[in-house]
Structure 1
Amino acid sequence: MDADARLTLAADHDTFRDDIVAGLSRPEKSLPPKHLYDDRGSALFDQICELPEYYPTRTEKAILRRRLPELRSLVPDGSVLIEFGSGSSEKIRLLLEGIEDRLFSYVPVDISAEYLGYVNDELQRDYPQLRIDPIAADFTKPFPLPSELSGTRHRVGFFPGSTIGNFERSEAVDMLRAFTTELGTHGGLIIGVDLLKSPEIILPAYDDSQGVTAAFIGNILQRANMELDADFDVDRFEYRAEFVEEHGRIDMCMVSTANQCVSIDDTEIEFSEGESIHVSSSRKFTFDSFAKLAAEAGLRVDEIWTDPEELFSVQYLVAE
C-alpha cells in the first residue's frame, strides 16, 4: 500500500469516528446513512433490493427497460456517464444495453472502494469495449474527474434508487447543486424518485419479514465495533421502522432496549431504555413536491416516466 492510500484510509477512519461520536452526542441521537455502505452493508442492501416487499428496485428496473429508447435519445455520442453512488451494477447494465455505444467513458462513484473494485471488475469483463473510470469518493461532496474527462464532453448523470429521499431537504438541494456542477450547464441527470403512496405498501418495504433491513441498519453498530473499537452490545438494540405521514417519509432507527453505556475511543455515550438512534429516512414525493425540490437546486424536470400504478418514477432533470 502506498503512502497516499494509507493517508486516505486514515482520513476515512477519522471521518467515520468523528461522525459517529458527533451524532451520538446530540440530544436526539443520529448517524449519517452514508456509513451504512461498507462492504457488508453494500452486500446487505443488494439483498434488500431482491426482497418481495421491496417494490422500488423491480419497479424502477421495469421503467428503465421499457423506456430505454427514450433514455438513449438523451445521450449524445461521446458522452461521459457519471453514476453517483453506483453500488450494484444491475441498473447500470440495463442502461448500458441501450447507450454503451454512445459513451466515451462510464464513471461509477461509490464510497466503498473495495466493493466498487469488485463490481467494476465484473462490469469490465462483460463490457470489454467500455472505458470505465471508477472513483472511490463520497458522492455527496465535490470530487475531481480524471483530467481527460473534465473538458467539454457532454455529461449525463445517473442516480437511481430514489437515494435522493434519504437526505434532508437542504442536504438534497445541496447535493443536486453539486451534481449540476459535476455535469456542467448542458448536462442532464437521470434520477429515480419514489412516489408517495399507501403506508400499507411503503412500510413493509423497509421492515421486511426476513429481517434483512434490520441487519442492514444495525450493521452500522457492528462496523463501529470493528473499526473504532466501540463496544456496542448489538443484542441490546432493536430495529424500528415508522412511517411519518405528515412528512411522507419512513424513519429507520436502532432503539436501545436497556439503560446502557457505550464506549467509542475515549468517549462514553449513555443510552436510556427506549432511546433511539436515527440512522436513515426515505422520503416519498409527489410529482409537484419533487419538481419544487429540483427547482431549488436550479434544475427543471424535463421528462417523467412511471409505472402504471405510479409507485415509482424515473425523471430527467436539466439545468434551468
Structure 2
Amino acid sequence: MTFFDQFLRDHYDEFALDQYGLGKRWDTLLLTPRFVTSRHVVALVFPFRRTEPALVVKVPRQPGDNSGVLREAAMLAQLSTVVRDSGAGVPRLVAVRDVGPYTVLVETALTGLPLDPRTVAADLPAAVAAGTEFVGALPCTQPAASNVEWYQRAVAAPLAALEELTGPDAHINEMVQQTHELLAPLRRSQLPAVIEHGDLSHPNLLVKSGGALQVMDWERSLTDGVPGHDLVFYLQYLSESSEQAFAREAQAAAFDKAFGEQGWAIDPLSRHLGTRGVDQDLLPLLVIATWARSTATMVDRLAQEAEVDPSQRNRKVRMALQSDRDFWLWRHVLNAA
C-alpha cells in the first residue's frame, strides 16, 4: 500500500470519497516527473476496474515545499464556479491536509483527449479556438485604474529574484536590464490584473468531445497575472506543435512564424487584448514580458533544489536555465527586438 492509498483510507469518510465513485477498492498510478523543475509526485486514483481516474492526489517531492499545492488549492477554490459556468473545465478541490512537513492536495480528475502536439497539428484552428475561449473566460481580478503597482509585482520583482538565485552572471544581468529598457512604455501603462494559469501546454491540457478545453496543474497560477501572458504561452505551444518543433532552434523558428511580422498568432492575441481593454500597440512588449516572466518562475521551482546543495546552487540554476525552453525564447525575443 502506498502513502497515497493509506492517506485516502485514513480520510475516506471525512472526504466522502464514495461520491467520487470510489468504493473500498481502487487502483493508484504514480507519476514521478524527472524534470529538475518538477516539484511534486502525483497519483491518479481509479475506481476499481474503471479506465478513467476519479481523483488526483499531489504531494511535494521535498519536505516543506508546499507553496505549489497551496497555490493550486486556493486557485481551484476560487475558479470552480466561474470557469465551469463557461463550459471549460478545471479540477474541483476535494481537500488539503498536512501530513508532517508535507501538504497533500486532493482534487477531482479531468477527462478528455490530450491536446498533445499530434492533436494540435491535426486541427490547428480548433486548438486556437479552444484556447482563446478558455483564456477569455478567466476573470479579471482588479481593474487597471487600481492595479498601479503591477509592473513591480509581476515583472521587476520576479526578475530581481532570478538574478539573486543565479548569482553574479553578466549574461543574465544584461538580459534583465535590456528587458526593463524595452518594456519602459509598458511599465508606464495601466493594465488590469487577471487570473493566470502560467503553463498552458501539454500535458496540462485535455479536450472534451465538444471542443471545450480542460486545464489541470494550477501550481504556477496567479490571481494577479498579466493580460495576454497565458495566450502568448499557449499559442507558442500550438505553433511548436503544428511545426513539430522540438529542438530549441526549431522552437525559435516556430515563434517567428506565429509572432513575427504577419504571424498567424497576432490576430487572436490582438483580439483578446481588446476584450481586456489593453492598448493593442503594447502587444509586442507583452510578448517579451511573457518569456521574461515565465523564465523567472524557475526561481520558485528551483529554490528547493538549490537549498539541497547550496555549494552548487548557482551552477545548477544556470545549467537549468540553459536547458529551459522559456529562457531560450526570452533570449530570442530580446535579440529580435
Which TM-score band (shorter chain)? under 0.3
- TM-score scaled to structure 1, two decimals? 0.24
Select the structure that is richer in strand: 1
Higher relative contact order (CA closer than 8 Å, sequence separation 6+): 1
